[in-house]
Structure 1
Amino acid sequence: MKKQLISLQRKYLVLNIFMLFFISNLLAQEAERPFIWVKQSERSQILEKIAQEPWATSLYTKFLNRADEDFNVYQKSPELFLKKLPFNWEAQKPKQIPPLKIIIRTGPQEKLSAPKKYIEYCLQVAIDCGVLYYLTNDEKYAQCGLDILHTFIESISQLPYPTESGNNGIIYPEDHLYESRVINAQIPIIYDFITPFIKKGGMPYDFVKNKKVLFNNAKAQKVFKNYVELVINQGMTGSNWSVLEAPSMVQNLLALDNVSDRKKYINVYLNEGSPRQDPLSTIASFYKNPGDVYPETSNYSNAVASYSTVLMTMLTKYDPSLNLIEKYPNIPLGLSRWEAMKYPNGELVRFGDAPRTGGTSYAYCEYAYYLGEITETPDYKKTFGYLIATAISEDTYQRDELNPRSFPSRAYFEPLQLLWYSKNLKGEIIPQKQPRTDNLVHASVFLQRNESADENPENGLMCFVGGAAMVHGHATGMNMELYGKGQVLGVDNGNGNYKLDLHENYSRLFAAHNTVIVNGNSQSEGGWANLGQNPVELVSMEPMPLKEAVSPNFSFTQTSFLDDKGDKAEAEEQRTLALIRTSETTGYYVDVFRSKSKLPNQYHDYLYHNIGDALVFENKDLTLVPTPNRYMANANNKWVANRTYRHPGWHFFENVETSSQYNKEVKATFNTEKIEGKPIYMGLHIPGFDDREYTKVKAPLTFSAPKPYDTLATPTLVIRKKGEAWIAPFVVVYEPYNETVNNKSVQSVEKLMQDGMYKGLKIKSKTPNGLIIQYIITQAEHELYENKENGIIFKGVFAIITLDRNEELTEMYIGNGEELHFKNNSIKKISGENFAAYLHFNNSEPLLETNGKCMVQLANGKQITVE
């Protein structure tokens, strides 16, 4: 009897579990809409936020006013409003809304024509009306959204579904990547917000039948499913495409009424993926540590973190048991990474197809904060609360800013400002200084900065060396940028409209960068868009990325690069770039670029682009003559868009003027005198070497340069060395300064040689604190430099000795080395690896900073030992 009772209890338990499972699935399948962005249960809290928070009231008022302006156009004549869409009237069937026209995007990154733009405009208007129906319960907004939804569903249902994999859309048959963002991702959101109105008996207006009709939900469900399948079957893995298309996939799968289909497709998005679609788990593999970014250029990388954060939030709200915040915590944290990649004036370091401006989007930081709020994740609230609060305090961001209705190639998330911004945002404003050095691993960018104590952007110094292959990367070689007096002066060209000759055959190639071209044939090969190159490798650096510096005034990087793509360069290169501050308002850069090829008859060209009006040589005996054909050898080479290029791209140079061989020291200045405010200059000191030819050219405009230089040619210097450039490398001292062309601090530059090999420089500077003399030594690891006349011995990579006007020692710096001697003063390692050290004097008292075990011996007999 007891066994029978237990058996019966088990049967009832199984039955109850089954019934609960059935009911929960039924409830999920019949879940009350909306639930993609918000749930009906959240409405009262959002309305309370709008009523009580001044910023939310202001934001809502702006949103309502803009939506009403568009709604009023619709309300005057729904028929005329809808008929403006680009329909294919010739394909219209009797008494049916015609299909939309098939749109073929041709030519370079074309601007949207009015009819194409109107498609996106209609969809955004419909979403806004859906949001206002949710907030106000005013059915006039629901009617507008439903009319637009019905029109699109009826029209799109008549268009053929792509049967082949590739980048094939429905309206844009050759560009699903574009269509998925600006069309496909929007339609399910309209449906989600308007469904309650339909269930109450709401009927859409059909402008062909000129009456209200029943909404065909079966057609809508088919469209949503087709859109999900399009993302799975179209596109490209291994790039940001999978993420850019993901809003279409996730929002459409959540628009499906069948809960089993939703579950299946969520698993595809999160875990399974497809040959044409990377799942979120694959995207997350690039975010191993907090602060990691997706390995593309800044804007594309940022879009990956931004979109993924929004989609993780949607799915977390839909099904918290997915535990996405626990599985992939570092994706949203990537949103803040680009802040550390900004110059003191707020502009971004630039490489590849990246803009100069951008970085952190505070709207997406708000969404990440909201994700932290709903998942009770303190780190998110702390990180993003700080970023938002700091931006508000610095007046670079206000929460009531309504993002403008615009038509870039992205999904429309702007209404989330009203729905997701937290009512109870808390952020502690803690002053933080950017690190002295940093590194973007995927781009092989090695960055140095030295901000002034007064935090004046004009007095900050910053530079980077970098170069690597990536999606949306360029073939740059070992490139650099230089910042000074409030502007990026030594510039990367950037990118304009894709597919244009200028973009393909200049902006993407070596000639558009501050690099070296070998044998006139440095080029890319393989990789994304056949723009593959080897990564720049770090040889030595002080301070190492994100580490404490031993000196407040000095830092350096030494990097290497193998230029072996194609078969005509075959070169090994090394670059040492040092940032040297000499006072709160003065400083300079030292660039030493070594290059040698395996090929006979080698020659090397050092390129430097600086925004400005002109490059002026001070040497009166340096005569330049027109050489219009100097860089034209490859001008007519075969060009296949996105595949084969006219390397190295310097056929775009104009007004080419070249010297004969000139072996003396060269002084030159880039004059930049049209920027609003003070004029800016970049002074150049170039030690004399044999077999040098100097050329000045007008390179193409620099994109995103300050006005008016964004429309003017870029003055550019090219130095040619016939034969190897290793023993006698390219050496240039760059000094940014302002006010007058005679305001420079660097007075003279002399090269230091040993046994015919370049070893360093002796630089005299007139600073606000007086005249100083600096010896700067750059060589390979374990090499020895000995100058008995000056009493200098150095074994190591990089070192600086600073003397005052009386030639008394004030500083000794080892960036990477074993020992440094100046007369009777020395710093030596005791044991272990090479070390960094900085010895300076405060009222004659020696002070030492070091990261290794070393001993200091001073001329007065004092010793300092660090074990």
Structure 2
Amino acid sequence: MTSLYSTKLLATERPLIWLTAKEKPIVLKKIETEQWAKERFLALKKRADDFVPTSVDERVENIKRLPLSWQEKTNKFPAFIVQKNVGNNELRNPLQLSLQAAIDCGVMYALIGEDKYAHCAADILYTVVQGLNSTEIGIQPVHLNNRGWIIPKNHLLESRIYAAQIPLIYDFVYNYLKKGGKVYDAHQNKFTVFDFSAAQHVFTTYAQLALDSGLIDNNWPILESSSLVHNALAIDDEHLRQHYLEHYLTLDTAHQDSLAKVAKNYVKAGDIWPESLGYAMHVGYFSLYLMNLIDRIEPSLQLGNKYPNISSALLTYEQLRFPNGDYPAFGDSHRSHQDNYFEYELAYKSAVLNNNKALIAKFASRLKQLIKTGQYDRSTLLPRHTSAKPYFAPLALLWPETDLGEQKIDTPLNVYNTVHIPFAGLFIQRNLSSDDPVKNSLMATIGGGSYVHGHASGIDMELYGQGHVLGLESGKGGYPTNVHQNYNRLFAGHNTVISNGASASKGGWLQLATNPVEKVVMEPEINANPISDKYSFITTRFYDEYNLVKPAYHQRTTAVIRLSDQLGYYLDIFRARSEVENQYHDYLYRNLGDSLDVATDGQTIKFHSDKNRFQPFDPSMIDKWTHDRNFVHPGWHFLKNVNTSSKTAKTLTATFTAHKFLNSPVMMQSTIVAGLELALSTAIAPKIKSEDPPYNKHEIPMMVLRHEGDAWLNPFVLTFESYQGVEQPAIQSTSRLMHNDVFKGVKVVSKVGISNVTQYILIQENSSQHYENKELGISFIGSFGIITLKNNKLTDLYIGSGTQLSFRDSLLKVESTSSSAYKTY
């Protein structure tokens, strides 16, 4: 491969990592001519000035904030106080924030050249280097080989919050120190020269720790890579520096993956890192950052062109959002993620460095749109932080390109009606409304798969309504906790079906592997234009292979149906069967809110207390489960206040009500369509930590529908419709369409304004099946179709998958090259 250090200039001249001699005049010109850059510069200067000491006493005060053993009376420089696994904030925060302040000062010294900035940065650097050289690195084995220095059992954390920052300070003040600039030794209470050999030991040690610590084939190596690359670039020995940089670029170890290996997960434009979303975002962000860093120094490597799909992943994140900006909470993920628009600056920078015209156009347009709409203010300097990530705030001044070109703005960002994230088995259907889109848009997600930080969920579902994700999965809880291990990550923490009380996982990441959720048929296809702006659907399947009784088969059809710009609903059909005697299947659904009311024929149904209904398949596992290895399947023993109705085949109406939103009350009404005998249980599910306030601190109402026997030929059938305030639901009645005891669809009658809307939604197992209802005048060959009438007059026919659909005298046929069709009347 091309050597990063093919010229002596790059081997000897500093600063190098964030700012080169060639870049400095460009940055100064940017500050002089661009108002946003000037404001960022002044904010950074003020922040640095607030830290800069004006006396020896203040220099000592800055130094003594660092968590070293200052009270020990020895001839040796004080060692760092060793921190616990996640760090003690009283020890962690002063060190983390001091390193960030020293970086700010280092940047100002590099730009302005005033020694006062070098004083504060060099003092911190010297003290940290000396303290580390006095601190022993534990050599005993630690959990997951996560061996650090200051945090002996957590290099993963230490590499980001400490190790990645130290070489940056060195790089910025190197010239000051080389010309004899003095540092203050708070141990000996005197000025002294900097110890370069001690610093080189620190950089080499941290670079080697990155190669020797932690796990591979997950996000860890990428999170540790900023430390690896920064420390490598701070090493003065060219050959040693090259050794570590080549490990970042192409050479894997048993504990560290290279960029070349990481990039294999970005095969196609739009691919994202195969973990739950927070981890996926950080992997892309840190990789894009380091690609920019290296491409600036050695343009011949062209990392941005070699791995362009790492940049393209940013656009996929936008495709996942619910209409209110939240994200699907698949796996160990949060609902909300703070927008990081600096990522778009990095993507654009990478495209410019590599002269990638396609990506230049995409990201210039996106940046312009974000700036124009006020979502992104280039003049705002990000604050220092105590989060578990490196400090990049000054880069938002140093690296952004001034010229965003002549590319026009694509407004709004084009989001697709259907999106697929293959590794998670995640499928998105959205139907956006032009009338108050946050409130009136619809979006449903269906998914489930086996991946790092994934959950054992089967076919999961999330539903959006009235500006909120209402029907939801459990997301990320507290990792060490029992409830996260044995509820959030298991079937019971999801809107899914559990078969025979025994749906479970086996193998894979932490023994949480399941088969992936697979598409059977859908319309529109992924990233394709819909044939109708009113309808979409997807049918998926799941093989419950690791069920603790016997494997079960699941199939789910979920449709999004628009009635008007303001109204619409979801239809959910879930089939389940298992080849065992006395089989039974439970349909689970939880919805953000404070209460759940269930009625039939306008009367509240009666319940009886049923506290023993949802027990573990193996109750002994409650005492025997082991962290990250053995679980208490299926997880529903965490449900509280369980009450169960008598069996019934009547229509049931379940209404979830939320009173804590700003637009409360918000209701989600589910109609459980008559014709399948079941018992309905209500319960209180654990709170979902990853949700938006205020419901991240409140337990969640849920319902569980149990059918004893096969639920395949005659499945669970439910509608879901949200509304708020004094509004009323549009759906007035529902009923099954049956033929020889086989489910063929559902009739839904709705009230839209002054009109009565009747819809026959036809669902069959495959596209070759034929359903005929002479009484209604329906004939259908296909797996999904809709007939819609307004005031008893036909308005449209829709074939989502099939060959032909007729109603009375009207016929719709699918062209031979297609499997779907739509016609209005």
TM-score, scaled relative to structure 2: 0.95
Give how far 1:451 is off: 0.3
Counterpart of 1:104 in structure 2 is 84
Task: Give distance in 2, aligned partners of 1:278 and 1:316.
Answer: 19
Counterpart of 1:763 in structure 2 is 748
Corresponding position: 1:450 with 2:426: no
Counterpart of 1:526 in structure 2 is 507
Counterpart of 1:154 in structure 2 is 130
Counterpart of 1:430, as a letter, is D
Counterpart of 2:468 in structure 1 is 487
Corresponding position: 1:37 with 2:22: no
Corresponding position: 1:820 with 2:820: no
Query: Partner of 2:624: helix, strand, or coil?
Result: coil
Query: Partner of 2:813: helix, strand, or coil?
Result: strand
Query: Partner of 1:353: helix, strand, or coil?
Result: coil
Task: Give distance in 1, aligned partners of 2:384 and 2:249.
Answer: 30
Counterpart of 2:81, as a letter, is K
Counterpart of 1:583 in structure 2 is 564
Give how far 1:830 is off: 5.9
Aligned with residue 189 of structure 1, among 168, 187, 194: 168
Aligned with residue 734 of structure 1, among 720, 741, 745: 720
Contact 1:583 1:768 in 2 (8 A): no
Matches within 5 A, 1:166-315: 166-315=145-294
Q: 1:29 to 1:690 in 2, by over 3 A?
A: closer
Counterpart of 2:822 in structure 1 is 838
Question: Which segment is superposed worse, 618-627 or 717-726?
Answer: 618-627
Corresponding position: 1:46 with 2:27: yes
Counterpart of 1:809, as a letter, is L
Question: Which segment is superposed worse, 571-580 or 49-58?
Answer: 49-58
Counterpart of 1:837, as a letter, is A
Task: Give distance in 2, aligned partners of 1:692 and 1:566.
Answer: 22
Corresponding position: 1:428 with 2:413: no
Task: Give distance in 2, aligned partners of 1:706 and 1:325.
Answer: 35
Task: Give distance in 2, aligned partners of 1:233 and 1:763.
Answer: 62
Give how far 1:689 is off: 3.3
Counterpart of 1:794 in structure 2 is 780
Task: Give distance in 2, aligned partners of 1:74 and 1:192.
Answer: 25
Contact 2:336 2:692 in 1 (8 A): no
Counterpart of 1:468 in structure 2 is 449
Q: 1:566 to 1:824 in 2, by over 3 A?
A: closer
Counterpart of 1:8 in structure 2 is none
Determine which structure has more spread, i.e. the larger CA radius of gyration: 1
Counterpart of 1:535 in structure 2 is 516
Q: 1:303 to 1:705 in 2, by over 3 A?
A: closer
Query: Partner of 1:835: helix, strand, or coil?
Result: coil
Counterpart of 1:860 in structure 2 is none
Query: Partner of 2:79: helix, strand, or coil?
Result: coil
Task: Give distance in 1, aligned partners of 2:702 and 2:54.
Answer: 52
Query: Partner of 2:305: helix, strand, or coil?
Result: helix
Give how far 1:569 is off: 4.8
Contact 2:15 2:21 in 1 (8 A): yes
Give how far 1:85 is off: 2.5
Contact 1:494 1:702 in 2 (8 A): yes
RMSD of aligned C-alpha atoms? Answer: 2.0
Give how far 1:318 is off: 1.6
Matches within 5 A, 1:299-448: 299-358=278-337, 361-426=340-405, 428-431=408-411, 432-448=413-429
Aligned with residue 624 of structure 1, among 584, 587, 607: 607
Task: Give distance in 2, aligned partners of 1:500 and 1:386.
Answer: 44
Contact 1:583 1:769 in 2 (8 A): no
Counterpart of 2:108 in structure 1 is 132
Give how far 1:375 is off: 3.0
Q: Give a deviation string over 1:283-340, Cα, whole Å, max 9, x none.
A: 1111122221111111111111111111011111121122212211211221221000
Task: Give distance in 2, aligned partners of 1:130 and 1:828.
Answer: 71
Give how far 1:380 is off: 2.8
Aligned with residue 655 of structure 1, among 625, 636, 641: 641
Counterpart of 1:552 in structure 2 is 533
Task: Give distance in 2, aligned partners of 1:724 and 1:637.
Answer: 33
Contact 2:590 2:701 in 1 (8 A): yes
TM-score, scaled relative to structure 1: 0.90
Matches within 5 A, 1:581-730: 581-619=562-600, 620=603, 622-633=605-616, 634=619, 636-730=622-716
Task: Give distance in 2, aligned partners of 1:472 and 1:569.
Answer: 26
Q: Give a deviation string over 1:587-626, Cα, whole Å, max 9, x none.
A: 1000000111123222111111110121111222621111
Counterpart of 1:241, as a letter, is W
Counterpart of 1:563, as a letter, is D
Counterpart of 1:9 in structure 2 is none
Task: Give distance in 1, aligned partners of 2:743 and 2:290.
Answer: 56
Task: Give distance in 1, aligned partners of 2:691 and 2:145.
Answer: 37
Query: Partner of 1:636: helix, strand, or coil?
Result: helix
Aligned with residue 77 of structure 1, among 46, 49, 58: 58
Counterpart of 2:820, as a letter, is A
Task: Give distance in 2, aligned partners of 1:70 and 1:627.
Answer: 62
Give how far 1:585 is off: 0.5
Counterpart of 2:578, as a letter, is S
Task: Give distance in 2, aligned partners of 1:72 and 1:501.
Answer: 48
Task: Give distance in 1, aligned partners of 2:511 and 2:49.
Answer: 49
Matches within 5 A, 1:797-808: 797-805=783-791, 807-808=792-793
Task: Give distance in 2, aligned partners of 1:73 and 1:377.
Answer: 48
Contact 1:370 1:421 in 2 (8 A): yes
Give how far 1:89 is off: 5.4
Q: Give a deviation string over 1:127-154, Cα, whole Å, max 9, x none.
A: 1111111122111111111111111111
Q: 1:92 to 1:539 in 2, by over 3 A?
A: farther
Give how far 1:101 is off: 2.0
Q: Unaligned regions of 5+ residues in structure 2, if any?
A: none
Q: 1:219 to 1:24 in 2, by over 3 A?
A: same
Query: Partner of 2:51: helix, strand, or coil?
Result: helix
Q: 1:400 to 1:496 in 2, by over 3 A?
A: farther
Q: 1:441 to 1:73 in 2, by over 3 A?
A: farther
Task: Give distance in 2, aligned partners of 1:614 and 1:450.
Answer: 28
Task: Give distance in 1, aligned partners of 2:242 and 2:436.
Answer: 52
Q: Give a deviation string over 1:49-97, Cα, whole Å, max 9, x none.
A: 1222111122122222223333359975332332232224587641x32
Q: 1:374 to 1:670 in 2, by over 3 A?
A: same
Question: Which segment is superposed worse, 63-72 or 612-621?
Answer: 63-72
Question: Which segment is superposed worse, 820-829 or 630-639?
Answer: 630-639
Task: Give distance in 1, aligned partners of 2:321 and 2:334.
Answer: 12
Give how far 1:161 is off: 4.0
Q: Give a deviation string over 1:86-125, Cα, whole Å, max 9, x none.
A: 224587641x3211122221xxxx6742212212111111
Q: 1:645 to 1:720 in 2, by over 3 A?
A: same
Query: Partner of 1:458: helix, strand, or coil?
Result: helix
Matches within 5 A, 1:491-510: 491-510=472-491
Question: Which segment is superposed worse, 96-105 or 79-88?
Answer: 79-88
Q: Give a deviation string over 1:242-298, Cα, whole Å, max 9, x none.
A: 111110111111111122222222222111111211111111111122221111111
Query: Partner of 1:40: helix, strand, or coil?
Result: coil
Task: Give distance in 2, aligned partners of 1:201 and 1:599.
Answer: 82
Q: Unaligned regions of 5+ residues in structure 1, if any?
A: 1-20, 842-867
Task: Give distance in 1, aligned partners of 2:214 and 2:408.
Answer: 42
